[in-house]
Homo-oligomer: A and B are copies of this chain.
Amino acid sequence: MESRQPNSTDEIDLDHATSARRIQRLSSHLNPPLLDGAGAETAVSLMACAARAKLEVDTEQLSKYMRGRYRDVQQGVYDYFNSRHELQTPIEISKDEHRELCMRQLMGLVREAGIRPFRYVVDDPAKYFAILEAVGSVDMSLGIKMGVQFSLWGGSVLNLGTKKHRDKYFEGIDNVEYPGCFAMTELHHGSNVQGIQTVATFDPMKDEFVVDTPNDGAIKWWIGNAAVHGKFATVFAKLMLPTHDTKGVSDMGVHAFIVPIRDMKTNKPLPGVQIHDCGHKVGLNGVDNGALRFRSVRIPRDNLLNRFGDVARDGKYTSPLPSINKRFAATLGELVGGRVGLAYSSVGVLKIAVIIAVRYSLLRQQFGPPKQPEISILDYQSQQHKLMPMLASTYAFHFATSHLVDTYGEMKKTHDEELVGDVHVLSAGLKAYVTSYTAKSLSTCREACGGHGYAAVNRFGSLRNDHDIFQTFEGDNTVLLQQVAGYLLKQYKEKFQGGTLSVTWNYLRESMNFYLSQPNPVTARWEGQDHLRDPKFQLDAFRYRTSRLLQSVAVRLQKHSKTLGSFGAWNRCLNHLLTLAESHIETVILAKFIDAVRSCPDEKSRAALKLVCDLYAMDRIWNDIGTYRNVDYVAPNKAKAIHKLTEYLCFQVKNVAKEMVDAFDLPDYVTRAPIGMQAAEDAYTVYTQYAGF
């Protein structure tokens, strides 16, 4: 594009300028110098923009802005494992060896490197999540093993128990002398936790609970740490209390109990506890998932995690909360941290994949213009289309999940009720949206890197296999999105008429009022770059879509519930509800991204972030252009301009793609793929050496 700007090379010396011009000429053959066909106005405005902004990215400055507060502790994790080669997971390893290695890695982290994540679970979650992300990049099995030990098993003790539990278990959990499990899921019940069938019946004679698996469908399944290492398990079961009426026992709903499952010395299963191995998984084979069946296993009354409900010596039930449903919600509410961690770690995985795919696409050359050298595959429009919106999304998700982590930390401090609701929905929505996106992207990256992407050493296989289940555990994504939609509808119904909306969707009331009117036929035709790249237009478009989806689904639900009941009506509108939830999450991500661009202190970095932010916005609008067109929010000429701008921005981002992935600041010994080395000249060499040449 610079070839049309006579002054653009004035400041460079002549030799340099000659070769630069040659490259520019070649580049103009390959790539869009200007939007074509989108009207003279757009073209002129892009010319102006290109003239004023020859984008230069200062990777160091941008990195500084991207780095979290806890980069130091992450570096500590990287350094420790980089220094202990015997603790690095080899490319090929059997399930059993992997499980043992993973345990040694965890022990090493805690006992040798002195990094103790457990203390941060409640007191400084942001630091905990930073450790989790770093540990996951060493081996995702280790990340999950750590999460099972500290967030799930440990977290359940801290968050659902009381002081007596903390006093008794903290030290052993912290130093991994008490490896433990989180036994919620059953063979027949995953998402529907209230449907679990394991029972814990109080025996007032012996002051004990008796834990039982009433049928094979109630076997605790997929329990991490259970197959080999776990000594304890937090078991979720229906609490049964004896009554004096004819029924004999009363179901008090799901509660959590600490059940010792293995002998501390021999590691043998304790009497009545039957443990089997869930076997080989698609990924995460360093985690020993097992299945637990209980046959009249007796535990002391003290082992009830009694923060939200307690049983006295005489069998009397007390609770600070008035109903089974409230207690259930409070119990599950304490587990929301797991989702925050997964959303955050998922972005970490996406960063690694994008770094490898972008660097290889810059390195790899294939085909070219007649009698000229081959060009890099990232010079192809199709490769830009695959990878550049993904790079932009990685930035977008980075800021959104960082925001989530901070909000979660604040919530843990203040227990502010509005924040609780906000974190609940934001964590559900971001976990679902980000992990689905990352899962798809890992496949795209493998495919985009061709045959060399299929070498296990280049990481896409293990990243995909390990990450895959992020879409399912800690809440199935399809179920979580429904929670988001449900919350939006609640807000819509209860608060639309004047109350306060919670922080993240304050925009809804505003935009609903605004958008219930018809789209403006004049702005629907605006296609200039200044307009399309204006954050106001972008946010308006995202919010408009969410508002319309919310309003229309509310109307449909009301209509159908008359004939189908609320469950039937919900199912009839389910696709619509999921689209609404995704639209809302995309809107929140964009809003956080725009904030992050504005807050960036370094001018060059701000310009680079603005570029990827625009690409994120345009890409998402274009992906859903049918919706915008259907309601004439966007006229045909504008739709075309959005498409062309998306392609143009992909090209622009391509020009700074190397710097943008370098700014994620992950050293080669973390990304580890030979084809994704930071210094391109090393890549093929390292790769051939790996094969033995």
Contact = CB atoms under 8 A, between A and B. Distances in A.
Contacts of A631: 636
Contacts of A573: 381
A322 to B, nearest CB: 20
A30 interface: yes
A291 B693 contact: yes
Contacts of A217: 684
A39 interface: no
A91 interface: yes
A141 to B, nearest CB: 13
A451 B282 contact: no
Contact of A279 (B189, B440, B691): B691
B575 A647 contact: yes
A311 interface: no
Interface in A552-578: 556, 559-560, 564-565, 567-568, 571-575, 578
Nearest to A685: B216
A497 interface: no
A381 B450 contact: no
Contacts of A381: 571-575
Given A192-B366, A451-B222, A473-B451, A574 B693 contact: no
A643 to B, nearest CB: 9
B447 A472 contact: yes
A623 B522 CA distance: 28
Contacts of A688: 187, 216, 219, 291
Contact of A565 (B369, B477, B684): B369
Contacts of A647: 575
Given A216-B693, A574-B381, A575-B382, A366 B189 contact: yes
Given A454-B282, A575-B381, A29 B691 contact: no
A221 B411 CA distance: 54
A167 interface: no
A281 B465 contact: no
Nearest to A458: B282
A460 B293 contact: no
Contacts of A36: 556, 559-560, 572
Contacts of A685: 216
Given A367-B191, A472-B447, A31 B572 contact: yes
A611 interface: no
Interface in A186-210: 187-192, 195
A692 B292 CA distance: 11
Interface in A679-693: 684-685, 687-688, 690-693
Contacts of A630: 625, 629, 636, 639-640
Contact of A443 (B91, B385, B443, B572): B443
A280 B568 contact: no
B370 A567 contact: yes
A690 B365 CA distance: 48
A326 interface: no
B691 A451 contact: no
A508 interface: no
A478 B382 contact: yes
A693 B276 contact: yes
A476 B450 contact: yes
A214 interface: no
A279 B571 contact: no
Contacts of A278: 455, 691
Interface string A445-473: 01100110111110011001100110111
Given A195-B374, A369-B568, A94 B94 contact: yes
Contacts of A170: none
B571 A380 contact: yes
Interface string A28-43: 1111100011000000
9 contacts: A31-B572, A94-B94, A195-B374, A281-B456, A369-B565, A381-B573, A446-B468, A447-B468, A625-B630
Given A279-B457, A450-B476, 4 more contacts: A29-B571, A91-B279, A451-B472, A630-B636
Closest 8 CB pairs of A and B: A282-B461, A29-B568, A280-B456, A626-B626, A381-B574, A369-B567, A276-B692, A625-B626
